[in-house]
Structure 1
Amino acid sequence: MANKFTDAWEQRKLGEISESFEYGLNAAATEYDGKHKYIRITDIDDSTHLFLQDDLTSPDIDFSTADDYLLQEGDVLFARTGASVGKTYIYRRSDGDLYFAGFLIRAKIKSDYDADFVFQNTLTDSYDSYIRITSQRSGQPGVNAQEYANFALSVPSLAEQKKIGAYFSHLDSLITLHQRKQKNRSQE
């Protein structure tokens, strides 16, 4: 029997489905200390949106006062400036203790919404179009927290969000796995 989605989808702004938007640390990157990882715009893969861990750094900060910058499961990061404006990343615990840098904005997704579903909406043509239009201003392109909060998406029930978010996350991981195999074969 087919699994049918029957509930109506509703239009929601990112600001309505997020508890908060926060700017990252304004700290220099320093040699990796073996525990505290630092994610900057350049540490997010352009195609897979995964955290690149081949050149790890740590933020140059006092960690006893930096808990506000430590990512939690399901946090979504948005690049706010430069050529990579709009690039996104969703935090996974498997990435370790990860602090986010100042040119990134963290959205904490409310518990009655699925973070994977929200993240998948940042990989769409409508999101790309919104970023392209919103970031066009004089000088360097950029999108601030208030502008990200105004991004609108269609949202089904939480149960449907979870199914859709999990399906596309699984599909993304299969594609990434296939790309790695292809890359390894071409290097042999």
Structure 2
Amino acid sequence: MPICVPDLPTQRRIAGILSAYDDLIENNLRRIRILEEMAQSLYREWFVHFRFPGHECVPLVDSPLGPIPEGWEVKSLADLCESVDYGYTASASSEQIGPKFLRITDIVPENLDWAAVPYCEIEEKKLAKFSLKGGDIVVARTGATTGYAKRLNKRHPEAVFASYLVRLRIDPAFSNRHVGTLVESDDYKAFIRTNLSGSAQPQANAKVITSLKLAVPPEGVARAFDRLVEPLFDQKEQLNDRIRNLRQTRDLLLPKLLSRTT
């Protein structure tokens, strides 16, 4: 197919303009990774090593998980959930025919790019059942990426979740940020891998996904953790919005730059 190719100096000028956008995108991605590492480090410090504020004054007691701070309880993920649900079965569409349709392929990358998430048709009476809201956690239950998860924060479009995902809606008595940080960790993926069923197509049902045991802190410790990590999650969300805007601007700019050379 014949195409118009600008001369090399023009190509380099165009590449320079586009590279500036790519550099900004990469810089924001690095900042997001740092924020994620900060949240995970804080989680491990408080809830794995039990070095939370005031831990020096709290003795350790025996539990099914080994020594845990006095006043903490051992619970399963299922105990912390208000509801555990399988997703909606539908065909994805690039046309805006309904809410966003969140799938496994959308939650596997480091960052959830809502601009790339397709849409689906859904009856109004089913929308409430499958709708996602802030604090919900979705976990992949089949395929090579079983156990991958994402917690939704505050800023997201109207969306439902697909059938190969399981939604964990955390009881308000517990911290969804605490649970979300755990479920997004490599430790949780490793737990799921050791409990998979099926050989050709690995899978984990809702019972397996919510069977992990963890040490649950008193409300005061959980809320203190929330206060520390909430700004991290909010900033991460803002950076994702900037990345999406930069990508859209870059993609719109490219044809305009090329058209000026012809």
Identify the TM-score tier after normalising by the shorter chain: 0.7 to 0.9
- Residues 135 and 176, structure 2, Cα contact 8 Å, conserved in 1: yes
Give the C-alpha shift of residue 82 in structure 1: 0.7
1:100-139 deviation line (CA, Å, top 9, x unaligned): 1100001111111010100111133431221110125322
Question: What corresponds to 1:89 in structure 2?
Answer: 150
Question: What corresponds to 2:74 in structure 1?
Answer: 11
Question: What corresponds to 2:126 in structure 1?
Answer: 65
Question: What corresponds to 1:115 in structure 2?
Answer: 176
Give the C-alpha shift of residue 29 in structure 1: 0.8
Answer 1 or 2: higher relative contact order, Cα 8 Å, separation at least 6: 1
- Equivalent residue of 1:20, what SS? strand
Give the C-alpha shift of residue 19 in structure 1: 1.9
- Equivalent residue of 2:88, what SS? coil
* Distance across 1 between alignment mates of 2:120 and 2:214: 34
Matching residue's letter, 1:4: G
Q: Given the alignment, which residue of 86, 99, 116 partners 1:36?
A: 99
TM-score, normalization by structure 1: 0.80
Q: Given the alignment, which residue of 64, 70, 75 partners 2:136?
A: 75
**Could you tell which deviates more after superposition, 161-170 or 52-61?**
161-170
Structure 1 residue runs of 4 or more that deviate by more than 6 Å after TM superposition: none
* Distance across 2 between alignment mates of 1:173 and 1:75: 15
Change (3 A) 1:95 1:172: closer
- Residues 113 and 161, structure 1, Cα contact 8 Å, conserved in 2: yes
Q: Given the alignment, which residue of 92, 105, 109 partners 2:166?
A: 105
**RMSD between aligned alpha carbons?**
2.8
Alignment gaps of 5+ in structure 2: 1-51, 59-69, 251-262
Change (3 A) 1:134 1:169: farther
* Distance across 2 between alignment mates of 1:96 and 1:175: 16
Alignment gaps of 5+ in structure 1: none
- Equivalent residue of 1:161, what SS? helix
Question: What corresponds to 1:156 in structure 2?
Answer: 217
Give the C-alpha shift of residue 33 in structure 1: 1.9
Matches within 5 A, 1:119-134: 119-134=180-195
- Equivalent residue of 1:22, what SS? strand
- Equivalent residue of 2:150, what SS? strand
- Equivalent residue of 2:222, what SS? helix
Identity of aligned residues (%): 26
TM-score, normalization by structure 2: 0.60
- Equivalent residue of 2:180, what SS? helix
- Residues 80 and 103, structure 1, Cα contact 8 Å, conserved in 2: yes
Question: What corresponds to 1:27 in structure 2?
Answer: 90
Q: Which has the larger radius of gyration?
A: 2
* Distance across 1 between alignment mates of 2:87 and 2:235: 31
